[in-house]
Structure formats: structure tokens, C-alpha cells
């Protein structure tokens, strides 16, 4: 029988398969190139970038929790210029889509970044991380307020013609309101979820286990929550959705697609098994074949209720 078509189109970006690596868990691709055939990935979402290099939080920055981990890396990154000169030439050599994840601390920083990255050869699209504090608004997180989400996403929309994915924070009461704000602002897709805010305490010293006190929870522990939030968002907005959160296996990825995701991102799983994303690609292909699907898009939003 024919090979199932694994390709998906998201906001004008043609991915050869629906499996991307999640920002912050796969560096700039190079770090894992000895372990993973990068050409087999649908896409690589690079570590979150800002206009200038960013120092991040003091260590300890991670702690393991049941079936998950908390991180407070604090967005440490090499900055846009170093990315363009030191990392992009490597990524261009591969036949995979490069999505640039980025953030700012003001709306102006977001739009300036989007303008500057727009002429860089080899960038297929942008993913804007809105789980960051807005320094103009007393540090309020952009992504927890629908008006702020709309404002910052609109500003970026005006600054670039590249496909724009808005990455949503799950730390909100109602994801549908935020997802709609992103759609209204002209986003081409939304991706979710970013990490869930959590904390852990050492009971002997009574100190927090992370120097930053709180951190973002990722890994299999968050999967059911992520799946529910993806399902809610996919029902609400008329945009493609990229599902993220605790995906370890092809079965997990397929769950997200049935719930309405057009593609998935694999994060923490790469730490456990560098090759996890490739195994997921193979597993999705096998599933499609076993179920006689002509293409993976048949799966998207096929939940029977």
C-alpha cells in the first residue's frame, strides 16, 4: 500500500512531518546533531532568542519532580546577532524547517526582533513566546492578559510577513480568551502549552529547590493538562494548533492530533532519549498505515464525542 502523507501545512509553512522539537529543549539543533538525523525532523524550534544576549537565572535551575522537571533557566540565550552569524549557517545545511522562538521585555523589543529576523535566509517562521514579563507594565506576563496578548501580537504581525505562531502560556484561567486574542491579532497559528508554573522545597533546609523559587513544569506529568488545553484551544480558534506538553511517544503525539493539533513539539523527551522525536515520526507513520489513513491530516481533530 501507499506510504501515508505525513506532511502538514501550518500557516503557509510546509512541514514534511508533524514533529518539531520544542524551544529550549533542543538548543540550536547543533547540540543534538550527533544523536539525531536533523533532516528527518519536521522542524526545529530554536532556543528562545532576544535582541541582546540574555543572562538567565542563577543556578540551581532545574529539579526533577515525579514524571517531570521544573526549570527556571530564565531564557538565557546568545542574542539575535550571534544566532544569525554562529548558528544559522549550520541550520541552513539541513532539510528541515527552522522556526525562531523569541521574546522581549517590551512590545518594542518584540517588534524590533521580528523586523530584524525577517530578512534572515533560512528562517521558515517565528514562534513568539508570550510567557514573559512586560517591563512596561510592572512585569505582568504578556500571555495572561488578552489585551496585552493582542497588543504584542499585533505589533509583531505588523513588523513581519513571516508566518507567525503565538506560543501560549497555560497559566491562565481560560485559554480560549487568549487564543482568540492571538487569532484576532493576525497570528497564523498558536502553539501550546508552555510550562506550568510550579515549585519544590527541600524540607531539610526549608529552602526552595530552585534559586528562582518557582519554575516551569514539563514532561509527562503535564500531558493530560496540556491535552485538555490544546483541545479547548483547537475548538475555539480557526487557526492551526501545535500541541506541546509531555509528549514522549508516537501514541502521545497522536492523542494531541486527535484532540485538534496539526503538529506537535517534543520537548523534555529529547533529554531522556535524544532520538525520541524521530521515533515519534516513525510511530505516527506506522499508525497511519495500520489505520489505513492516506495522510496524517485526517487525524487532526478527529475526536469522537
Partner 1 sequence: MQISGKILYNKELSPDYFRMRIGFQDVVKDIIPGQFIMIRVGDTHDPLLRRPMGIHKVVEDGKGIEILYQVVGKGTFLMSEMRRGDRIDLLGPLGNGFKIDHDMERAIIVAGGIGIAPMMALIEEIKRQGAGEKGQKTKIKVFIGGKTRRDILCVDDLKGLGADVYIATEDGSLGYKGVVTDLLKESITEKDSGFTMFSCGPNAMLKSTTDIALRYNIPCQISLDKRMACGVGACLSCVVKVESLSPTPISYSPYKCVCTDGPVFNAVEIVW
Contact positions vs partner 1 (CB under 8 A): 24-27, 31-32, 34-35, 47, 53, 55-56, 58-64, 66-69, 71, 73, 76, 78-79, 81-82, 85-86, 219-221, 248, 268, 270-275
Per the omega criterion (within 30 degrees of 0), is the bond before 193 cis? yes
Query: In the complex with ligand FMN, which residue's Cβ is closer, 183 or 226?
Result: 226
Which residues fall within 8 angstroms of residue 268, CB to CB, at 6 or more apart? Answer: 25, 68, 69, 218, 219, 220, 246
**Residue 195's binding partner, choosing from ligand FMN, partner 1, none, with beta-carbon cut-off 5 to 8 A by kind?**
ligand FMN
Which residue's C-alpha cell is 516551569?
216
Note the residues at the interface with ligand FMN (CB under 6 A).
22-25, 47-48, 71, 73, 75, 101, 129, 167, 194-195, 218-219, 222, 244-247, 266-269
The residue of the chain with the least Cβ separation from ligand FMN equals 24
CA 148 to chain centre: 20
Which active-site residues does the annotation give?
132
Q: How far is the CB of 302 from ligand FMN (least distance, A)?
A: 22
167 binds, among ligand FMN, partner 1, none (CB under 5 to 8 A by kind): ligand FMN
User: Which CB, 4 or 175, lies closer to ligand FMN?
Assistant: 175
Q: How far apart are CA 179 and CA 52, in angstroms?
A: 28
Cell of 93: 545545511
CA–CA dist 103, 127 (Å, integer): 9
Provide the 8-state DSSP code for 191.
E
Q: Considering the complex, state which of residue 13 and residue 269 has its C-beta at the smaller distance from ligand FMN.
A: 269
Smaller CB separation from partner 1, 25 or 236 = 25
Helix, strand counts (H, E) of the chain? 9, 18
CB of 77 to partner 1, least distance (A): 8
Gyration radius of the chain over CA positions: 18
Amino acid at each position: 500500500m501507499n506510504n501515508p502523507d505525513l506532511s502538514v501545512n501550518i500557516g503557509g509553512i510546509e512541514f514534511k512531518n508533524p514533529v518539531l522539537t520544542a524551544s529550549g529543549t533542543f538548543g540550536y539543533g547543533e547540540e543534538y546533531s550527533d544523536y539525531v538525523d536533523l533532516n528527518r525532523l519536521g522542524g526545529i524550534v530554536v532556543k528562545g532568542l532576544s535582541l541582546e544576549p540574555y543572562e538567565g537565572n542563577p543556578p540551581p535551575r532545574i529539579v526533577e519532580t515525579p514524571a517531570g522537571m521544573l526549570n527556571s533557566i530564565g531564557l538565557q540565550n546568545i542574542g539575535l546577532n550571534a544566532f544569525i552569524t554562529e548558528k544559522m549557517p549550520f541550520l541552513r545545511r539541513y532539510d528541515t524547517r527552522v522556526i525562531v522562538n523569541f521574546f522581549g521585555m517590551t512590545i518594542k523589543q518584540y517588534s524590533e526582533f521580528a523586523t530584524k529576523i525577517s530578512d534572515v535566509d533560512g528562517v521558515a517562521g517565528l514562534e513568539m513566546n508570550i510567557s514573559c514579563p512586560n517591563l512596561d507594565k510592572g512585569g505582568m506576563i504578556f500571555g495572561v492578559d488578552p489585551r496585552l496578548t493582542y497588543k504584542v501580537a499585533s505589533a509583531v504581525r505588523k513588523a513581519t510577513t513571516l508566518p507567525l505562531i503565538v506560543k501560549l502560556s497555560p497559566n491562565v484561567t481560560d485559554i480560549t480568551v487568549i487564543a482568540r486574542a492571538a487569532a484576532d491579532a493576525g497570528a497564523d497559528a498558536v502553539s501550546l502549552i508552555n510550562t506550568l508554573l510550579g515549585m519544590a522545597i527541600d524540607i531539610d533546609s526549608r529552602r526552595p529547590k530552585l534559586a528562582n523559587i518557582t519554575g516551569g513544569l514539563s514532561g509527562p506529568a503535564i500531558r493530560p493538562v496540556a491535552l485538555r488545553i490544546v483541545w479547548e484551544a483547537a475548538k475555539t480558534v480557526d487557526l492551526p494548533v501545535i500541541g506541546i506538553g509531555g509528549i514522549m511517544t508516537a501514541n502521545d503525539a497522536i492523542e494531541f492530533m486527535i484532540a485538534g493539533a496539526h503538529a506537535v513539539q517534543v520537548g523534555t523527551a529529547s533529554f531522556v532519549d535524544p532520538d525520541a522525536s524521530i521515533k515519534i515520526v516513525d510511530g505516527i507513520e506506522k499508525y497511519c498505515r495500520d489505520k489505513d489513513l492516506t495522510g496524517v491530516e485526517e487525524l487532526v481533530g478527529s475526536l469522537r464525542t
